[in-house]
Structures are given as C-alpha cells and as structure tokens.
Structure 1
C-alpha cells in the first residue's frame, strides 16, 4: 500500500484501452509483462545475453581507462549529461561508464532540489559550478534539462521560465563548445509498459525501493505531457555543436554498450582500439529528434 495505507492505483489509457495499475500490488499485471520489452517500438524481441554483455562491457571499460590517461596527459575535459524519463536507466548507464575509472578524475553529479539561495541564482549557475576542470570527466545524472521536462510538467516553473530556458540552453551550450569541453548529451528513451515494469520492480525489491519516489507515482498519468516536453526539448536544443544522442533503452545492456561506444568512437584518444570498441547499433542509438520518429 501507499503512504498512510492509501492505494496508489491509477487508471491509465494505453493503446485505446483503460488499464488499472497499482504499483503496490506484488503481482505485476500480465499486460505490463507481455508488452514491456516491445513497448515504444523497441526493435528487439529479446534482451541481450548477460554473458555477451559482460564480455563486451569489459572491452569498452578498458578503453575508457585509456581515455582517462589521455585526459590527464592532454588536460582535456569531458562532460556528459544523462536525461530520460524516471526509470530510463540513467544511473546504471553512468555506473557502467564510470565504475572502472579513477574516481578522483571521473565525477558523478546528481544535484538535489535547489536550496533558497540557489533558487535565486541564474538557473544554470549551480550546474556551471560542477563543470570539469583540466583532465576531468564529469557525468551528470539529470542536468539543467530538468527545466525542459519535469519542472514544466509538474508545475515547478512558470511558462515564461520554461520558454526562456529553451532559448537560453543552446546559447549556454555554445559557451561549452567555445571552451573546448568535449560535451555529450544522452536521452535514454523507454516505452510506457517498460517504465511501469521498472517502477514495480523498484517497489517490490528492498534493494531498490528507495529509488521509487512520490514524484514517480504522481507522474504516472502524465506520460503524454512528458512526451510533448521531450519532443520540444529535442527539437529546440539539438544543435550541431551540442547534439542530442537518443538511445532506445528498454534493454539496459544494449543501451549501455552503445552509449559507451558512441563516446569512445567520438574521442581521438591515445591507444584507441577500434576493434575492441566495435560498431554502434543503429537500431539502438541515433542522433536527434528524428531518431524517435
């Protein structure tokens, strides 16, 4: 049951049918289980085998360690932001990318709600404070793009602030480009049934229950609103100097591997092993809003 014993069952409209989803019910509905992987037009019928995934991930993580040595030698800076709906797999992708890097030089940033002082600052200010220094790789678990998604959907910013953000974000990112910071923007996209399945997994796994917030539950019936904001965000802030890379993420394993491959393929680092990196799966990863159509 939900907080104070209240049911958190919600009525959802999916594919022209009305469905009841209760995240507190320990039994996952068949209609979620059956459609989860294929939801959102995911291109594969089965998840990648764990053994294949671990083998390929190890090769890619070795390349990421090379990237760190290259950053130290050259003083270059890398910054990557990870966006997507709740339960899209942002944290897991960040962990797969950074887990074998030197933590002194690979830093994960996950900012909480702004305090009173931060709320009175220029919107981007607290994020700029976290930008990489020489030789550093910084990974943002959500970013300034909160203002393009969750904030307008949930009423945490005004329409004027939302529109101003969409105008200012490309300008701010132009400065990142001028600073020669190597900048990656990832949007992890999942289907609706997959999100429901992952919410349910979080609710009933004691190791993950902390991941399920009241905000997640409140957003359950706002799928279409989030989709509209996602599409507007990608359209207005996808630029030549700061492009969005979109990743179909119903299968976390394929998503992580191809995301890392994109980073490694883009960088011109010392000792690069193209055979170890392999080829990007064009069914999983693509550029900009057109990839979702």
Structure 2
C-alpha cells in the first residue's frame, strides 16, 4: 500500500471517528450544565478509550469541545434574551434554512430551539405538497406558518424547494420555475414591508463531506431514518443541484432579503457562526423582568392524598 493511499485511509478513519464523537456531543449538549461540564467531558475522554473510539489526541479534542460548549451556552443565553425582546416588542421573525441534504440545517435548528420557549420559537418543516396544495398558489401553504407578533419561525427548508429539489427532480415545469423567480422577490419584499424580519441561510458543504455524512447515516441505525430515496438520488445529481443552487442565489439575493452562506463542513463552527450571525441581525436588548418570587404552598388539614394503584407505575428498570 502506498504512503498516499495509507494517508487517505487514515484521514477517512479520522473523519468517521469525528462523526461518531459528534453524535456523543449531541447527547451531551442536552444534559450538560456549567458545573458538571468539566467532570463529564473528562469522563467522556476516558470512556472513549473503553468503547474503542479512535479519538486521536483526546486531551486536545477535549479542549476544543470545552470551548465549543462554553461558546454554545453563551450564545444560547443570548438567544433567550432575543426571545424576550421579540415577545416584548411583538416582533415577527422568519429564518430560512436551506442547503444540500446532510448539510447540518437540522443540527443548528436544534441548537437554536434547544433552550427557547416552543410557543415563541417554532419550526416549520413542511412535507411534500398534497394533491390539493399542488393546485394552490405556490406560496399559499407557507403563509399559514408565518409568525404573528412575538413569534420566531424557523423554516427547515422553505419555498425555495421550487428552485432546488423541484427543479432538479422535475417536479415543476419550466414555466412554474420561471414564475417562481418572478414572484419570490416580490413575495419576500411584501413580507418585509409587513414588518417581518426575514433572514435566509444557505449551508454549504463539499462533495466529499456530503458523501461522508451519508455513509455515516447508512451505518448508524439511529440516523438511517434521515436518508430518504430523494436524499440518495441527490447524491447522483450533485452537479445538477450545484447549478440550481447557483441560479437560485443569483436570482433571489435581494437587498431586502439577502442570502447568507454558512461554511458548514465543520458542523460545530457552522452552528456557532450561524447563531452568532442570527443574533447580529436583530437589534435586541435586555428586557427587565420583576424578580420571581415563589409563593408559599397552601396546606389544608383536611387534604388527604389519594393512593395510586401500583399497576399504573412505569416499571423502574433504571
């Protein structure tokens, strides 16, 4: 085996291991708090050897993850402040997340919503249009998901499906495709004039990176559900998607609603960069709240708690 080929295999192994580590990190992010972080991350570094994960320089990667978590928590704290500002000032915010399959859109959306009120910040991820919806004005099914005052809506894919998957897969004809490009700038200008803050992100990854992420999903039972037949077909049509993306960005990058491109090969950096940029798009401040005082619990002498039948309890297996 040549030195060059050995290096390629080693590089692929490192990237697969990095993907596995990222899966662990996703779970850690749901559990960690600042006081426990150092202890848990240190234990995780030791555990990786027990589970046979090839983590390379564990202490070095531990430091990187420590920085990532610290910065993520800081940015999520700012997102909570932004949420309060949006509610207090009755702002209407729409954020579009577009990009190739496995580009990391869902990952950053999860980090944005993770510590926010789902009644304020919600995700719109529309399925394929029904037969009835196909007969409607193209933008009609998206309108019902737009925010009222005091709401943030994150579109996990959006009306730009027509410029991407529908064009590449032949789900729209040339006239419908051209009509979309005539309509979408006016549609978005109308949204902005109505008071909606509209932010559009394109998540950019390389051909090799998408291939790696698809292979990881194929071999990970917990992520196989993310791969649809359409996703697999998108691999074969990489170049067609590239051309469609270039046309889309060129024809819909308008001053009222510009596109912002996120370099997303490094998922952790992409998440931090996207959240940081999103925060910069809205001039928010701190909303003062009255101190929260826990009221005294009321005790009644005649109250007797009723018994709960044992068979109603979930078995305590853990």
TM-score band, normalised by shorter chain: 0.7 to 0.9
Partner Cα distance (2:9, 2:179) in 1: 43
Q: Distance in 2 between matches of 1:185 and 1:217?
A: 25
What's the CA shift for 1:167?
Answer: 1.4
Distance 1:58 1:192, change over 3 A: same
Normalised TM-score (structure 2): 0.71
Does 2:93 align with 1:97?
Answer: no
CA distance in 2, matches of 1:222, 1:265: 35
Question: Distance between the aligned counterparts of 1:214 and 1:86, measured in 2?
Answer: 12
d(CA) in 1 for partners of 2:281 and 2:172?
35
2:159 aligned with 1:180: no
1:130 to 128, 145, 151: 145
TM-superposed deviation, 1:51: 1.6
Task: Please report how far the alpha carbon of residue 271 of structure 1 lies from its aligned counterpart in structure 2 after TM superposition.
Answer: 2.6
Which has the larger share of strand? 1
Q: Does 1:224 align with 2:239?
A: yes
Q: Which has the higher helix share?
A: 2
Change (3 A) 1:31 1:124: farther
Aligned-pair CA distance for 1:33: 2.3
- Specify every segment of 5 or more residues in structure 2 that has no aligned partner in the other structure, as ranges: 1-7, 17-59, 288-318
CA contact (8 A) 1:32 1:193 kept: no
Does the alignment pair 1:53 with 2:68? yes
- Aligned-residue offset at 1:35: 11
Cα distance in 1, alignment partners of residues 248 and 100 from structure 2: 13
Q: Is the 8 A contact 1:82 1:187 kept in 2?
A: yes
2:161 matched to which residue of 1? Answer: 146
Q: Which has the higher contact order (CA 8 A, sep 6+)?
A: 1
1:206-261 superposed Cα distances (whole Å, 9 cap, x missing partner): 11010011111112121111010000000000011000000010011111111111
**Residues 32 and 202 (structure 1), Cα distance of their counterparts in 2 relative to 1, 3 Å cut:** farther
Task: State the match for 1:193 in structure 2.
Answer: 208
Q: Which has the larger radius of gyration?
A: 2
Q: Specify which of 250, 275, 283 is matched with residue 265 of structure 2.
A: 250
Q: TM-score, normalised by structure 1?
A: 0.77
Residues 171 and 210 of structure 1: CA distance in aligned 2, closer, same or farther (over 3 Å): same
**Distance (Å, rounded) in 2 between the aligned partners of 1:195 and 1:214:** 15
Superposed CA RMSD: 2.1
Structure 1 unpaired stretches of 5+: 1-28, 38-45, 273-293
In the alignment of these two chains, the number of paired residues is 236
SS in 2 for 1:102: coil
